[in-house]
Amino acid sequence: MSDKLKVEIVRTLVAIGLSFLLLVVLITLVSDNPLNAIIQLFVGPISTIRGIGNVLEEWIPLVFTGLAVSLIFSSKQFNLASEGAFYIGGVLAMIFALTLVVPTFIFWPLLLITTGFTGAIIVGTPGYMKNKTGASEVVSSLMIISILMALGTYILKYYFKDPAAMALASLPYPKEYKLATVIPGTQVHTGIFLAIIAVIVIHILFNHTRTGFKMRIAGGNKNFARAVGINTGFMSLLAQIIGGCLAGIGGAVYQLGMYNYFVSAELGYGWDGVIVATLARDNPKYVPAAALFLAYLRAGSKIMARRTDVPPQVIAIVQGVIILLIVAKKLLAKYEYNLLLKKVDSDKKGARE
């Protein structure tokens, strides 16, 4: 194991450990029975088949947005539009499911291509404008998210609303367009295979192809990339477009896998994608593990919120703190330095012998 990897692992574990201490404090303050809440949070997801199902249900969308944000962030752009692409992916799935009457083998390819393309445009726009004019991609992507949220609500309310439903919800989806359940007794759907395929494809693309290599260099060392003739602007845009594509597809898969009709709600998987990507150090290779960790936490927090008096927001706080501690590079500087010293010493010894 290289020293660099070792430092990153220790850094992640320290961050998670400290954040869990904070979590215990937060739960103890707010709960009448903190021990039960903590047990529900950590043991809830593995105590029943349904709990394990909850983890996997969360894992699927997190893999898609985690991969998306990893690609986007690896180009060193803080483009956050994947949240909007994921949301619109769900809206498009609703539109397709409620308007199209075609066999499923035509329906799904059509839906995946459309949502992928739309996601690419949504995420590509801030990226393109940043490249072209220098307009802050953070601001433009956030404005785009707000606009798309309103647009989605408008489409739902004026064209697909179920008049019989109490809350704002769409008409029910036709059964044949829903993704089939894989594990009985849970909601884990065939989208899980799509997520696995996405991981493999993106991992190979990013880590084992010429294009992926160029992307990594363009994001990592811009001047070097330019000097060896890589079109850095194009490469960073390409990474963002592929990311948007994944986020859009993820939204559609999640929608037709988990819901029987569309409800207008803030899902936040695009934001969680930021957390997954940072945990995975923007490398698609580590996204499945990072997504599993976060899926476990999210499933646990939902079980906890259902069965105890602790609000699920404690997890939002803890997630944020974990990431802050991980990106705080200088916090473990001393440990890193000592490792380096040790290595120098052993190298010296090796040279002497």
Partner 1 sequence: MGTLIDILLDTNTWFLTIALAMPIAMAAVGAHISSKAGVINIGLEGIMVIGAFFGVLFNGFFLSKGLPNSLNLLITFSMVIGVGVLCGLFIGIFNLKFGADIGLTGIMFNLIASGLTVYLLYLFTGDRSISSSYPSIAFPTVNIPFIQHIPILGDIISGHNLLVYIGFAIILGLTFLLNKTVLGLRIRAVGESPDAVTSVGLNGTKLKLFAISMSGAFVAIGGMSLSMGLNTMFAKDMSSGRGFIGLTANTLGGTPIGAMFVSMIFGFADALATKLQILSNIPREFLEMLPYALTLIALFAYSFSKMTKESQIKDRNYDGG
Stretch that binds partner 1, among 88-96, 204-212, 229-237, 325-333 (CB under 8 A): 325-333
Q: Does residue 317 bind partner 1 (CB under 8 A)?
A: yes
- Shortest Å, Cβ 336 to partner 1: 11
Q: Does residue 321 bind partner 1 (CB under 8 A)?
A: yes
Query: Over the range 15-30, which residues count as b (16 or more CB within 10 Å of their CB) and which as e?
Result: bbeebbeebbebbeee
Residue 250 and residue 86 in contact, taking contact as beta carbons nearer than 8 Å: yes
Report residue 226 as tokens.
């330019």
Q: Does residue 314 bind partner 1 (CB under 8 A)?
A: yes
Q: Does residue 175 bind partner 1 (CB under 8 A)?
A: no
Among 135, 196, 200, 228, binds partner 1 (CB under 8 A): 135
Report residue 5 as tokens.
């990897």
Residue 58 and residue 295 in contact, taking contact as beta carbons nearer than 8 Å: yes
Amino acid letter, residue 211: T
Could you identify the residue written with the tokens 């609303």?
Answer: 161
Per-residue binding letters, 90-129, with partner 1 (x by CB under 8 A): ---------------------------------------x
Contacts of 18 (CB under 8 A, 6+ apart): 321, 325
Per-residue binding letters, 6-45, with partner 1 (x by CB under 8 A): --------------------x--xx---------------
Among 33, 47, 48, 153, binds partner 1 (CB under 8 A): 153
Report residue 119 as tokens.
């996601």
Q: Tell me the residue length of the chain.
A: 353
Contacts of 282 (CB under 8 A, 6+ apart): 70, 71, 73, 74
Task: Identify any residues that bridge with 189 across adjacent strands, giving them in sequence order.
Answer: 181
Q: Does residue 177 bind partner 1 (CB under 8 A)?
A: no
Binding site residues, partner 1, CB under 8 A: 26, 29-30, 78, 80, 129, 132-136, 138-140, 142-144, 146-147, 150-151, 153-154, 157-158, 271, 274, 278, 311, 313-317, 319-321, 323-324, 327-331, 333
